[in-house]
Structure 1
């Protein structure tokens, strides 16, 4: 929201500089995001008085004058001849520019300069130089009573400079959406007088027939529109607004339209109450000639064209202002083209109403239609100012556009809400703020905000809350107001006191931190994805029935709670690859949400995502161009399971493809599936702009952490050497590494210390549908050195187990 300093000064005296005012407003809770100065037509021109005039040595026409500008005496070199000591003249100070003349592209900026060796500190101006007339023969001589030091623009009644403040308002303070609200805050903080514009009962303007006799108001939805005020003004003259009104609106970013519409916008910015003017001749009338005004819900599918020329399809929960046959305004948001005020408009109907904020916010968001009116209504306008704002706007319209005001007004307000009352305990203020503020001062601060004291004693006071303060609901809110006016900077900073405690979440946080350090140590970078994703992305990892969708999503790309971390990791991979970072290894720890038997289940998971080269940092050497594969993710998971002390983890390859994976496996602990890993389908990878193979994995971290084992056992380093025996065998393509380990384990061969695969070969002499696996078996005894004969006997048992268990053919040589 924007306000100007000159506008604010109409309601409260402002003695501070713009920078000091911005600081004060910020400390009061109105964040000032920017300050912009607007130069006036005669910026830097002041009224000055000539004290002396002497000839310049060496010149026939120039004179040197001593001139007083209200602050100091200046030396001015002048070539005009029509002035004498004692004259009041217009003096432009150094650093300011003369008004642009027709045909000029750059303004003339006045600087201090030496003339005949004498420093001239400004310039006395002629009427033509100031753009006041075509007379350029001599200086502008002002009347004798012209006040020295006063800006010339102010003295002549011309537009002067101003300062525009750009404010960021918090949603809980709709009362600050008008200049009067800000002036009220400033007056309360400084103790200065708040000056409200005088608005009478308009009796001197009113004429018969009455508004009641000409307007039939029907509010069909009182819960959505508890108050509605309408006035009728006949025979107005639509035309341009006066300069002061047009400039005021333009300086705060609003376009001037005509005198009637500009008045409604001006009053809205002044007091925070939106208004709307209808062309009364465009509203349908009943058989008796009365205007029928209905506040109703829109019909499903009803179409309406707003003032901006856009057509909208309405829904049944949207509120519409209508006449007997058609909608004429989208309540609280924007009027319609079919009833707008035009240059030929003669009679207007002036609307001032209060609409339910939640309905305005929902309608505005669904239609994608925002306006200055909806900005205020959806935060909660002041229901108590509705009729006052109507009178204020009617008064200004009559002054600027003429016309005749129908006697009285039409109003719907069946059940005014009683004012709220809140009790404040003085000692609680002291306990909360940590400073002692006398009870009288506490009451004085709140009364300065126009909270009326209805009862008080030595311990407490009860205050009646004005209608514009929706945010004051509890005692703690009053204490906050006292702190704001007392001065937040005066409340001392106190270090927190208390004892350090423990919480079950602390151990969980530490364990997650250790997992993060482990993943970072393995070369992965942490990612943080969005909790909300699109339902299309969610279907890659979850069934439609398991998705948790939002009832009122912000957009179609954020309409579902993520059932998995993998879609977000794919987005992170695409973000990196499309920005010339093709080698990426990421992990993420986060919560996912799934629908299970009608309820929503939430769990924490760990996701992994790898693509690109495994070792991109090396400039030479074997394997430099090798890509990530499933073994890399498997290695990270093995390290994780070992770190958590988990046993019984197995990997089971899936025979079928999934929507996400072309090759994948489930991760199980016993019979419980705790995760999955796989190679992403090329179709999915192409959709995410990923060219290299993409490997993903995800595990249920809650399950794993609940079954972790923190105990560690240590064994001494072996004292005796190991013996290695290798085996190369041909097995069916379906045999996995896990099958080999299972067969070897079932053989129960003693002294077998390690089993490691070191080669996989296909093709050549290997039959189709088979592959060659080469394994290294390490044997070691803890109490002695094994002999070759012992090692060979143990190894023969292993080889025999492989022949029987896997139908393996042992390759000799």
Structure 2
């Protein structure tokens, strides 16, 4: 939000300095992000004066130069060399004296110095308008009115003004501060609180008697959709002369970054930023049938907007139409190309209305029209201010454009809105704010902000909320108003804080998430955050009907909620690879979305994306590419960190993954991992292998929640014993089958088994391989004997032989 210092001070009863005002605004919750001095002309013509050319003579050493003497009101005239073809005695001109810096329209600033030009002394410069930033003219020096007095500062002649502009970081709920009058009300409330009185109030511009036209131009109004348009006001103005705005109005708008267009349009923009109420002016000749109807039009109705683009209307778009049903404007968002004010316009219909935020916001996003009017309507405007803003703009149009009022004001307000009432106790204010405010201070602040005190007791008060604050509905909102006007920095920090310990639900989801994130970050991973909204073109035709589609997509490439974590992660991988960041370890916590019988579903995931090399290139070893086992190690470590056991591996082909495995716990799929297929990588223009793991984070949290108790045991006192076996098996047998067979003997002595070698050779037999497996045995109560170990080893051999048809290599 941009606020002009000069403009704001028009409504304040006192004029603090720009720096003082900056401090006040920040204290009352309108955080000033920047304060910048601006000038209508760069340099403000500082040092430039009005001079009178006394004499001119030909330069003795240059055909195109002249020697002039110029009176600038000093004790003696100045000699100035001038090359302008139009310089002549008796002219009043702008003179840049020695030491003055000028700021041309183009080029760098230049400081005047005493100089000799072709051998003749020059004590300054006679200026053209482009040389001092006043315009683009460079045909000759700027010749002024003969009545001007030499020595007069040029800034006084050209009415140069300075201003200060505040960039305020508004929170989304503060629509009441989206205008200069709204900010002025807050500043006055602060001043009243500082002085403990009700002496200050914003100076609301009065509405003068308006001139009446000899011939009336009545235009009737009817509202079909009163839900989307609870109030509509308007009046006709004739005799309008469209043209440029006066300088003061241009300066006000330019200060806040609004480009002046014409007096009528500028006045509606001025009143918008003054009051916060959007307005729109229609050319009265476009209102066929002398009637305005506010309604919705059929789906797909074409409409050409002010930017000369044809848009297809949605059935939910609220429209302003004429008596023949033709659309003239998208209500509260954008005007039409054929109904707006033109250079030839002489009669207008001025609109001031209140449109429902729930109607404006979808329409604004649907058509990509983020206008100042839409921004205010979608947050909610002061419905009580609709007639005042209309009359204020009408008065300015009559004053600046020669208009005359040609109709009575139409004000359609079928269901007047009651003020919101809120009851709050003083004890609640004390408890929530941490400060015991005097009752008189609370009343003073609320009244200064426009609240009405409806009832009060020794314990509480009931207030009616002003229409300008539609966000206030709860007692906490009242506390916030009191705190910010009194100043958050006025709340004392206590010497100690008393808190009652509380038990949180187990498991603590955030702590678990943080634990795994820290583990992955410590292992070299980088966390990424990708957009949950993605491109439907990433997914095959058979999935299109199951996608969650955006109702108001901002882009054709962002039209669905992602059903999978893979594609958005690959976007990030491709982005990095395209910038030569080729060794990637990424992880992401995110959600996927789908359709269900009763609506929509969302699911939590943890995804890993690996590509490139495990380690950087080094002279001591060659770099190795990441592979399935590298990925598998991280997945297993995650579950080990969380105490999840009983993992089962199963080959599970996937459309997007090759060498894909599903990791299950008690038959429930817990994770899927594998290599992204070449066709999927090609879709993202990725030319190196990418490994992907998708972990069902919701199931992880459920499993952790079932094992919240932690058990600790002392380190065993008795030694462990290792035995090795070499098993000859069919090539199709996975090590997981060996581990499962070993677990089936259920020996408490078998603590660990490990595959430490795989050997394949024709000597073993056709389609055979050898697993070298180590077994670790231990008893926590005593030292194991060879006999006890041999008994378990015999059971293992028999089991391997029976279940896996294994042969024991000697």
Please confirm whether the aligned pair reaches a TM-score higher than 0.5, indicating the same fold.
yes
Q: Deviations over 1:288-339 (max 9, x none)?
A: xxx1211110221001111111211111111111112311111111111111
Quick check: 1:449 aligned with 2:449?
Answer: yes
Quick check: 1:228 aligned with 2:203?
Answer: no
In 1: Cα distance, 2:507 partner to 2:541 partner? 31
TM-score, normalised via structure 1 length? 0.79
Quick check: 1:2 aligned with 2:2?
Answer: yes
**Greater Cα offset, 231-240 or 464-473:** 464-473
In 2: Cα distance, 1:721 partner to 1:295 partner? 88
Q: Is the 8 A contact 1:529 1:568 kept in 2?
A: no
Aligned counterpart, 1:145: none
Quick check: 1:365 aligned with 2:369?
Answer: no
Q: Deviations over 1:406-457 (max 9, x none)?
A: 1422221223223344445445444443334333333222222233445556
In 2: Cα distance, 1:601 partner to 1:108 partner? 66
Where in structure 2 are the equivalents of 1:278-317 lying within 5 Å?
278-285=282-289, 291-317=290-316
Aligned counterpart, 1:175: 176
Q: Is the 8 A contact 2:27 2:484 kept in 1?
A: yes
Aligned counterpart, 1:663: 659
User: CA RMSD, aligned part only?
Assistant: 4.3
Aligned counterpart, 1:206: 212
In 1: Cα distance, 2:512 partner to 2:33 partner? 42
In 2: Cα distance, 1:618 partner to 1:631 partner? 22
Relative distance call for 1:795 and 1:401 in structure 2 (3 A) is closer
| Residue 193 of structure 1, CA deviation | 4.8
Relative distance call for 1:354 and 1:771 in structure 2 (3 A) is same
In 1: Cα distance, 2:124 partner to 2:776 partner? 107
Question: Which 5+ residue runs of structure 2 have no aligned equivalent?
Answer: 50-72, 80-93, 115-122, 133-140, 193-199
Aligned counterpart, 2:503: 502
Q: Deviations over 1:450-498 (max 9, x none)?
A: 3344555655554443322223333433332222222222121235421
Q: Is the 8 A contact 1:201 1:391 kept in 2?
A: no
| Residue 539 of structure 1, CA deviation | 5.7
Aligned counterpart, 1:196: 204
Relative distance call for 1:620 and 1:256 in structure 2 (3 A) is same
Q: Is the 8 A contact 2:238 2:348 kept in 1?
A: yes
Question: Which 5+ residue runs of structure 1 have no aligned equivalent?
Answer: 48-75, 83-89, 114-122, 143-150, 286-290
Where in structure 2 are the equivalents of 1:701-720 lying within 5 Å?
701-708=700-707, 710-713=710-713, 716=716, 719=719
Q: Is the 8 A contact 2:532 2:591 kept in 1?
A: no
* Structure 2 SS opposite 1:295: strand
> Please, which of 679, 689, 700 is the counterpart of residue 683 of structure 1?
679
* Structure 2 SS opposite 1:338: coil
Q: Deviations over 1:136-186 (max 9, x none)?
A: 9x98357xxxxxxxx8746x5713222222233333222322222222222
Quick check: 1:31 aligned with 2:37?
Answer: no
| Residue 209 of structure 1, CA deviation | 4.4
Aligned counterpart, 2:268: 264
Q: Is the 8 A contact 1:675 1:698 kept in 2?
A: yes
In 1: Cα distance, 2:477 partner to 2:98 partner? 51
Where in structure 2 are the equivalents of 1:48-447 lying within 5 Å?
79-80=76-77, 97=101, 107-109=109-111, 140=150, 153=155, 158-191=159-192, 192-202=200-210, 205-211=211-217, 214-285=218-289, 291-325=290-324, 326-423=326-423, 425-447=425-447
Relative distance call for 1:424 and 1:754 in structure 2 (3 A) is closer
Where in structure 2 are the equivalents of 1:541-620 lying within 5 Å?
565-589=565-589, 598=598, 604-616=604-616, 618-620=618-620
Where in structure 2 are the equivalents of 1:764-775 lying within 5 Å?
770-775=767-772
Relative distance call for 1:780 and 1:333 in structure 2 (3 A) is closer
In 2: Cα distance, 1:321 partner to 1:466 partner? 28
Q: Is the 8 A contact 1:541 1:659 kept in 2?
A: no
Count of residues in correspondence between the two structures: 739
| Residue 499 of structure 1, CA deviation | 2.6
| Residue 7 of structure 1, CA deviation | 1.6
In 2: Cα distance, 1:398 partner to 1:228 partner? 21
Q: Is the 8 A contact 1:541 1:660 kept in 2?
A: no
